[in-house]
Structure 1
Amino acid sequence: MSTLRPEYSIDRLHERQKGTLPGLLGFRVVSLEQGSLTGELTVRAELLAPNGFLHAASVIGLADTACGYACLAHLPEKARNFTTVELKSNFLGTATEGVVRTVATGVHLGRSTQIWDASVFAPDGRTIALFRCTQMVLY
C-alpha cells in the first residue's frame, strides 16, 4: 500500500493548481491524511447549469480533483505521475448555494493502479454524489 508522500502538502497542491481547471473551479484542500483527502468549493453562478442547479461537471470536477490530488500524494516511491483510466458518478441531489464538500478515500493503493471513492456533500450534509475512479500509476 502506498503511503502519504510528505512533499505533497496542502499548500503545494494549491500552488500547483493555479491556472488550471481546479483553480478555476475554486477547489480547496481542507485536509490530507493517510488514505484520504477532503476538499471543497463554494457554489457560485459560474458553476451552475442553466436550470440554476449545480452543474454535474462541477460536481465531477470537485470529486475527480480530490481523488486525483489524493492519488498524487499517495504515489509509490518511484512513480512519477498518474492518469485517470476510468471514472463513474451517481448523482443523488444538488445544491444551489453554499460550500460543497467531498471526501476521497483510497480503496486500492497499488503499484500499478489506484482506486479512489469520493462522496460529495451539500452544505446541509446530504450526499449529492457518489464517485469512483481508477488511476494508472506512471513510472
Structure 2
Amino acid sequence: METHKEKILKVCNEVCKNTLMETLDISFIDVGENFLLAKMPVTSKVYQPDGVLHGGATVALAESVGSAATYIFMDQNKYMIRGLEINANHVKSVKDGFVYAKASIIHKGRTTQLWEIKVTNEAGDLVSLCKLTTIALPKQ
C-alpha cells in the first residue's frame, strides 16, 4: 500500500510528463512537512558552452521544485500556482552527476508564499541559493 509521501511524489512526477521538467529529467524524490526535494542529472543536455551546468537549468530546477512544493502544500482544487519572482546566486560549478534542489518554506501566506531553494551537488556542497515567491490564485 502506498504511503501518503509516496502518493505525493507519484503525483509530482506524473504531472511532469511532456513538460520542461521531463525534458530536463527532473524527478521529485522526497517530501516532508515543510520541504520538497528534487534531483536533476548534470549532462551535456544542461551544459553551458564551456561544459558546466547552465545557470538557467539550475533556476528551472529551483522554480520547478518551489512551484511544486506550493502546489502540494496548498489546496490544488481551489488554487492555481504561479511564480512571481525568482533569484539565484550561483556559487559552484558542476560538470557531472546530479544536483539536488530542496525547497523549504519561509513564508506560507494565503496568497503569497516565499521559498528558499538550496541546490547542492552529490557531495552536499552548495551550488546555488535561490529564493522563489509564488502566488496562489483562486480558480474560477
TM-score with structure 1 setting the length: 0.90
Q: What residue is the counterpart of 2:111 in the other structure?
A: 112
Deviation at 1:123, TM superposition (A): 1.9
Structure 2 letter corresponding to 1:21:
L
Identity within the alignment, %: 22
Q: What residue is the counterpart of 1:31 in the other structure?
A: 30
Q: What is the count of residue pairs matched by the alignment?
A: 134
TM-score with structure 2 setting the length: 0.90
Taking the aligned partners of 2:8 and 2:24, their CA distance within structure 1 comes to: 20
Q: What residue is the counterpart of 1:45 in the other structure?
A: 44
Structure 2 letter corresponding to 1:42:
P
Q: What residue is the counterpart of 1:97 in the other structure?
A: 96
Contact 1:80-1:138 at 8 Å conserved across structures: yes
| 1:15-63 residue CA offsets vs partner (Å, 9 max, x unmatched) | 1110100111111111112210011011111100011010001111111
Which ranges of structure 2 fall in alignment gaps of 5 or more residues? Answer: none
Which ranges of structure 1 fall in alignment gaps of 5 or more residues? Answer: none
Q: What residue is the counterpart of 1:124 in the other structure?
A: 123
Greater RCO, CA 8 A, separation 6+? 1
SS of corresponding position for 2:85 = strand
CA-atom RMSD in angstroms:
1.7
Contact 1:52-1:96 at 8 Å conserved across structures: yes
